[in-house]
Amino acid sequence: MDTAIFSKYEPVIGLEVHAQMLTKSKAFCTCSTEFGGAPNTRTCPICLAHPGTLPTLNENLLRFIVRMGIATHCEIRPRSIFARKNYFYPDLPKGYQISQYDTPICHNGFIETELPDGETKRIGITRIHMEEDSGKSIHDFGTETLVDLNRAGVPLIEIVSEPDMRSSDQAYAYLTAIKSIVTYLGICDGNMEEGSLRCDANVSVRLRGTEKFGQKTEVKNLNSFRNVKLAIEAEIVRQIAVIEEGGVVLHQTMAFDPNKSLTRAMRTKEDAHDYRYFPEPDLVPVTITKEYIDEVRAEIPELQRDRRDRFIRDFELPKYDADVLTVDKATADFFEQAIEALAGKSNEVIKSISNYTMGDVMRMLTERKATIKSLGLLPSHLAELITLVTDGTISNKIAKDLLPELPGNQKSPKEIVQDRGMIQVSDEGALRQAIRTILEGNPDNIAKYKSGKVNLFGFFVGQTMKAMGGKANPTLLNELVKEELEKA
């Protein structure tokens, strides 16, 4: 589409994010929320909706949503109630979902997002409420549909934003900020691919300069950060095209097809469900005291943006490093623990730990499909390894070779280096002796070097290093080779 036409319009975007809570048990029974397990094994009469069973609220769900409310500057309602959302579906055992309707526990908050150009933008949070997940219908058995209720009753929070975003980049930044907050709060693992973070986008467009919102559609099926961005872009283009062709945008639910990068209508809102919400009579109203809010507030850790700013300030790290290190709370914790374990904390060593963490350590995570926690690398071991490099005991090269062996290893880097005799040779006499042996064996190359082939310098260094089993102190070796060549 013509960019001139495109720029006539302003997109308006709001996101609804479902985050699965990391409570050990389900929202209203004591079944485990652990992922996996044979179908229907994480169930009990309550989450199977057997007659006579009643829900009881998991206190941790309440604690978690209050954390989220505080972190997103929401007002926390002193009294809120649960509501039943009624509809029939095979993976919804009770025939209704316990949710919240007109009294969401958190409302009227905001978060600050950071855009790619470094600008910050405040996005309003309309509401955050508690609800339970449904089970899973599995349709890939011919004409049969099978139902797995392991997920039924797993606690979710739904975070609804104001229609404050004006581009897919802003939506992406908002979602990134939400993920960062929930993971820092320890209430959700933030994994979109596995469905622990799910996102629907409300999208509309209007002519620039006009006040009135255009007709919005709801885009579903957004199971990765990338797809959220692509789907919103596709929907904006579709809506502009509809209007430019003289058509009208309908109130529809759209599905995103990631293969074709297109949005398609799933159903029109006119034939939407009537959920017949009404107050859940099996649960009592949730009352939140000021003392409770203060107690929860005390559990809230430093969030990503504050931590990043502190890393820049206290460790004099570049913004890039601080951003990368703090995206994931566990990584940031790992980094800080490594620094704490350091004997001498020069900026140079800190930067070196940053480099190792962002580079070699993160590469290991990808290769081993691990998280910083599951990897099993002790922060103190990384600190010790870097110290061995900076005090000249081992070379950088040896450190990098050694690093992959450290996760899960009972021995410290120092012990391994000693055991294997990997300690770097910085003894000048020994180095000169080795250099002279190499020079004596290569009179031709010395002649060539002297006649101007200076790049043979590397040859002499390399041969000596090889003869010493890679353990020569590289800086010192360079100096001494230069000296010996001059003498030769």
Partner 1 sequence: MTSQRLQELNTSLNCFLKVFDVPPHTIQTGKLDGMRIAVKDVLALKGERLTCGSKILENFTSLYDATCVERLISAGALVVGKTNMDEFAMGSSNENSAFGAVRNPWDISRVPGGSSGGSAVATAIGSCDMALGTDTGGSIRQPAAFTGTIGFKPTYGRISRYGLTAFASSFDTVGTFSRTLESAARSLEVMSGKDERDATSADVPVDEYSLSLSGNVKGLRIGLAEEYFGEGIEPDIREAIETVKAKLVAAGCILVPVSMPHTKYSIAVYYILTTAEASSNLARFDGIRYGYRTPGAHSLAETYVHSRSEGFGQEVKRRIMLGTYVLSSGYYDAYYTRAQKVRRLIKQDFTTVFKSVDALLTPTTPTTAFKLGEKLSDPLSMYLNDIYTVSANISGSPAASIPVGLDRNGLPIGVQLITDSFKESVLFSLAKEIHVDVLSRLTL
Residues that bind partner 1 (CB under 8 A): 45, 48-57, 84, 86, 88, 90, 93-96, 145, 147, 274, 276, 278, 281-284
Verify binding: residue 31, Zn ion, rule CB under 5 A: yes
Angle at 341 (CA atoms; ends 340, 342), nearest 5 degrees: 90
Nearer to Zn ion, 132 or 233 (CB): 132
- Return the number of the residue (146 or 303) whose C-beta is nearest partner 1: 146
> Is the CB of 50 or the CB of 345 nearer to partner 1?
50
Report, in Å, the least distance between residue 29 CB and Zn ion. Answer: 3
29 lies in the binding site for Zn ion (CB under 5 A): yes
- Number of residues written out for the chain: 488
31 binds, among partner 1, Zn ion, none (CB under 5 to 8 A by kind): Zn ion
In the list partner 1, Zn ion, none, the entry touching 47 (Cβ below 5 to 8 angstroms by class) is: Zn ion
Q: Which of 195, 214, 110 is nearest to 154 (CA)?
A: 195
47 binds Zn ion (CB under 5 A): yes
Please, which residue, 51 or 421, has the CB nearer to partner 1?
51
Nearer to Zn ion, 43 or 424 (CB): 43
Nearer to Zn ion, 152 or 361 (CB): 152
Query: Cβ 128 to Zn ion, closest distance in Å?
Result: 24
Which residues, listed in sequence order, are joined to residue 141 by a DSSP beta bridge? 144
Please answer whether residues 127 and 19 qualify as being in contact, where contact means their C-beta atoms are separated by less than 8 angstroms: no
Kindly state whether residue 149 participates in binding Zn ion, applying the rule CB under 5 A.
Answer: no
For the bound state, the minimum distance from the C-beta of residue 66 to Zn ion, rounded and expressed in Å, comes to: 24
Tell me phi and psi for residue 184, to 5 degrees. Answer: -60, -35
CA distances, 362 to each of 50, 69, 325, 335, 395 (Å): 47, 32, 10, 12, 21
**Candidate segments 22-30, 227-235, 300-308, 366-374, binder of Zn ion by CB under 5 A:** 22-30
Choose among partner 1, Zn ion, none what residue 461 binds, the Cβ cut-off being 5 to 8 Å by kind: none
CA distance 90 to 409: 49
Closest approach, Cβ 41 to partner 1, in A, equals: 15
| Count of residues engaged in binding Zn ion, rule: CB under 5 A | 5
Stretch that binds Zn ion, among 38-46, 50-58, 298-306, 310-318 (CB under 5 A): 38-46
Burial (CB count <10 Å: 0-12, 13-18, 19+), residue 486? exposed
> Which residue type sits at 51?
P
Interior angle at CA 133, CA 131 and CA 139, nearest 5? 155
Judge residue 45's burial from the number of C-beta atoms within 10 Å of its C-beta, 0-12 exposed, 13-18 middle, 19 or more buried: exposed
The CA-based angle 478-421-408, given to 5 degrees, is 110
End-to-end Cα distance, the chain? 72
- In the complex, the residues that contact Zn ion under the rule CB under 5 A are 29, 31, 44, 46-47
